[in-house]
Every structure is written in structure tokens, then in C-alpha cells.
């Protein structure tokens, strides 16, 4: 071998060795976590940083990111930032985004069965909803339904009992709903149609301008905390309670099933735990904030708070039962979801009469609490 060839071989070997040393040095100096870091995109149906809904999505994302030690990084896109709010489900189903944060009744156009995993008029309260999903067979049915759309679903919050809504006229009988244009999604909207109203489904960010412009005559949203934040008291005079349409509205997060299946067991366990933690935390936050907000609406903004008459609740209840039964007949899976939901509701009512409801009535007795 000539000296020239030997020299070229030496230089080539040195270059390879140097490159290998550089890679080794880079591997030692770079945090190991950076190599396995995975960013997940979460799209929401809520306005950016909106109290209790938008902030819940942000908190959930941070909980997952922090809990994973940064190996999973969840970035939140508010309504309209990546996709329009009501296209969140499709974005996750198709893989444009990895997770959504919303409420399942927004997807009723895909299957009417999704309503039962958000809320049903005169249906389950928040605690009953948790019990059905976690321990009454609800999660298994939800998994089956969502898998058909390439999604793994989770409970991710609850707003509790929602209020009846904001109106610019008094509502004293079922006749007062005739011709009324009201924002109300899900099966509650269909119930309104049955009693003569025109129900409209609008994302949160579009409600106030629609009410202000007269495009709608009335709206429901959530309850005092969120309704105060939206400023509905500025454009509507009467605030009614109780609502019939959403007795314990579950917020949800769905993950693209391909993404979910690609995670290891530890990451899946972490995400499921974070979802369950935020489900509990969010309900507590709504319960804590609503009392203060109601006082502000009444004392500062002089809102007229009215009780929904029993005559009206009875009529809405009759219509609700018919609507839910008709929805159940849509297909075999929806029927199974309905049967499970209604059976659990029946048992919950029988129990709560002697537990929660009985205690609430006892707590109203005229005694002094020292």
C-alpha cells in the first residue's frame, strides 16, 4: 500500500471516529427526555382561556405535560385557532389533532348516542354520571361508540346542574316558548322544538353577539359563573332556574385512537388519571364559583332571577321522555346506550330519594346552624 493510500485511509478513519465521538458527546450532553419528547395537539370548542371551560382544557394539558415529566407535551388550541369549534371531533378522528376538549352532544350529528355521554334532559346529575361511566357500564359503551370514529373518550369535567337560561320576556307557561328563538344544543334543543320553539346550536363565542343583535331571543349557557363572564346580564333581563336540559353536563376529552394505542402502558395510565383528576377538580371549581357569581348578578347587576314554573317543567319533562325514547330507536347501539342509561337513572332516583334528596330537604328545615 502506498503512503498516499495509507494517509487517505487514516484521515477517513479519523473522520469517522471523530463523527462517532461527536454523536456520543451530543448524546451525553442532550437531556434524554428531549429524545423521546412527543407533542400532542389539543383542540377545543371553548373560547381561549374562558373561565371554567377554556381554563379547564389548559389545566388538563398542563397536568398531562407535568405528570409525564415532559415526555408528553400537550399544546392547546382554542376554538377557531386550528379548526372551528364544532370540527374538533373530526380533526381528532382524522388525525389532524390528537385530542379534543368539548362536550359529546356537539357530535350528535355523528350518532345521537353521543348525547347520553354529555347530558340528557331530566337525566343524570354529575355524581350519577360519574357513577354510570366509571362503575355502571357507561365507559364500555362509550368506548364502543367512539371506536367507530377512531377515538378513545374520557370524562374530563362536569359543570353540575345548569340554569334555565336568559330571556328578554317572562316565561310563565309552555305557550311562551312558541316561536321563541333560543340557543340550546343537544337533546334539550330537540325538546324545545317539540314545544314550539326554534332551537339553535351556537358555540360559546357566538352567543353574546347573537343575543345582542336579536338573532336569538334567549340562551342557556352553563350557570352563574360562566354566564357572568359572558356578560349575558347586559343583554337579557330574566334569568331562570332550574334548567331542565342539562342536570349534570359532562365535559369530555377524546384522543385519536391511533395515538392512544401508540402510547405505552405508563403513559396511558397517566393520561387516564389526569382525566379523572380534572373531572373531579372541575366540578368542584364550578360549585365553588357559582355561589359568588350569583350574588354578583343579583346584588351588583340587579338581574331578575325567576323560578321555572312547575307547569312548564311538567310539559318539558313529558317532551323530554318522548325525545329520548325516539333517539334510542335510531340504531341498535344507541338503544343499548339508552337502556343502560335509563336503568341506571331509575336506580339512582330510587336511592337519592332516601339519601341526597332527603338530606337537601332536611337541610332546608327552619333550624339554626351554630
As a whole number of angstroms, the distance between CA 305 and CA 310 comes to 16
Query: Where does the pLDDT of residue 18 fall: very low under 50, low under 70, confident under 90, or very high at 90 and above?
Result: very low
List the one residue out of 323, 69, 290 whose CA is nearest residue 161. 290
Q: Residue 33 has what pLDDT?
A: 37
Q: Residue 335 has what pLDDT?
A: 98
Q: Residue 238 has what pLDDT?
A: 97
Q: Residue 35 has what pLDDT?
A: 55
pTM confidence score = 0.88
Query: Where does the pLDDT of residue 369 fall: very low under 50, low under 70, confident under 90, or very high at 90 and above?
Result: confident
Lowest mean pLDDT among 20-24, 51-55, 350-354: 20-24
Domain 165-247+289-352 has CATH 3.40.190.10: yes
Let me know if the fold of 33-159+249-287 is the same as that of 165-247+289-352. Answer: yes
List the one residue out of 369, 188, 154 whose CA is nearest residue 271. 154
Distances (CA, A) of 251 to 158, 159, 292: 5, 8, 22
Q: Residue 267 has what pLDDT?
A: 97
Q: pLDDT tens-digit profile of 268-306?
A: 999 999 999 999 999 999 999 999 999 999 999 999 999
Q: Residue 20 has what pLDDT?
A: 39
Q: By the 8 A CB rule, do 204 and 84 touch? A: no
Q: Residue 206 has what pLDDT?
A: 95
Residue spans per domain, the chain: 33-159+249-287, 165-247+289-352
Lowest mean pLDDT among 15-19, 37-41, 162-166: 15-19
Q: Residue 256 above 80 pLDDT?
A: yes
Q: pLDDT tens-digit profile of 152-205?
A: 999 999 999 999 999 999 999 999 999 999 999 999 999 999 999 999 999 999
Other beta carbons less than 10 A from residue 22's beta carbon: 10
Q: Residue 36 has what pLDDT?
A: 72
Q: Residue 370 has what pLDDT?
A: 60
Show the cell assigned to 171: 316565561
For the chain, percent of residues with pLDDT exceeding 90: 88
Mean per-residue pLDDT, 342-347? 98
Q: Residue 119 has what pLDDT?
A: 97
Q: pLDDT tens-digit profile of 86-138?
A: 999 999 999 999 999 999 999 999 999 999 999 999 999 999 999 999 999 99
Lowest mean pLDDT among 34-48, 70-84, 152-166, 226-240: 34-48
What class, spelled out in words, does domain 33-159+249-287 have in CATH? alpha beta
Which residues have CB under 8 Å from 265's CB, separation 6+?
Answer: none
Q: Residue 309 has what pLDDT?
A: 94
Amino acid at each position: 500500500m502506498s503512503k498516499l493510500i495509507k494517509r487517505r485511509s487514516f484521515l477517513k478513519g479519523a473522520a469517522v471516529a471523530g463523527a462517532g465521538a461527536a454523536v456520543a458527546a451530543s448524546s451525553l450532553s442532550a437531556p434524554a427526555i428531549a429524545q423521546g419528547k412527543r407533542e400532542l395537539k389539543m383542540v377545543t370548542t371553548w373560547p381561549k382561556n374562558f373561565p371554567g371551560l377554556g381554563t379547564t382544557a389548559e389545566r388538563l394539558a398542563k397536568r398531562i405535560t407535568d405528570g409525564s415529566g415532559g415526555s408528553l407535551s400537550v399544546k392547546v388550541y382554542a376554538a377557531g385557532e386550528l379548526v372551528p369549534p364544532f370540527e374538533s371531533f373530526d380533526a381528532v378522528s382524522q388525525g389532524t389533532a390528537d385530542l379534543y376538549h368539548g362536550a359529546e352532544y356537539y357530535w350528535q350529528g355523528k350518532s345521537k348516542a353521543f348525547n347520553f355521554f354529555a347530558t340528557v334532559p331530566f337525566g343524570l346529575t354529575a355524581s350519577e354520571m360519574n357513577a354510570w361511566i366509571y362503575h355502571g357500564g357507561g365507559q364500555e359503551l362509550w368506548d364502543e361508540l367512539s371506536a367507530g370514529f377512531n377515538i378513545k373518550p374520557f370524562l374530563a369535567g362536569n359543570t353540575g346542574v345548569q340554569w334555565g337560561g336568559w330571556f328578554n320576556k317572562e316565561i310563565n307557561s309552555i305557550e311562551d316558548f312558541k316561536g321563541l328563538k333560543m340557543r340550546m344544543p343537544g337533546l334539550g334543543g330537540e325538546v324545545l322544538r317539540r314545544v314550539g320553539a326554534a332551537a339553535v346550536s351556537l358555540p360559546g363565542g357566538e352567543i353574546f353577539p347573537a343575543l345582542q343583535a336579536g338573532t336569538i331571543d334567549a340562551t342557556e349557557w352553563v350557570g352563574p359563573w360562566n354566564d357572568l363572564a359572558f356578560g349575558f346580564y347586559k343583554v337579557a333581563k330574566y334569568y331562570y332556574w332550574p334548567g331542565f336540559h342539562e342536570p349534570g353536563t359532562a365535559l369530555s376529552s377524546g384522543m385519536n385512537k391511533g395515538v392512544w394505542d401508540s402510547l405505552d402502558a405508563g403513559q396511558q395510565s397517566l393520561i387516564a388519571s389526569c382525566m379523572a383528576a380534572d373531572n373531579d377538580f372541575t366540578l368542584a371549581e364550578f360549585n365553588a364559583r357559582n355561589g359568588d357569581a350569583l350574588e354578583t348578578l343579583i346584588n351588583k347587576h340587579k338581574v331578575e332571577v325567576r323560578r321555572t314554573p312547575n307547569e312548564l317543567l311538567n310539559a318539558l319533562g313529558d317532551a323530554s321522555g318522548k325525545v329520548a325514547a325516539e333517539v334510542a330507536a335510531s340504531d341498535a347501539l344507541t338503544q343499548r346506550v339508552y337502556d343502560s342509561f335509563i336503568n341506571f337513572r331509575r336506580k339512582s332516583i330510587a336511592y337519592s330519594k332516601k339519601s341526597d334528596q332527603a338530606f337537601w330537604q332536611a337541610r332546608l328545615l327552619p333550624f339554626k346552624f351554630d
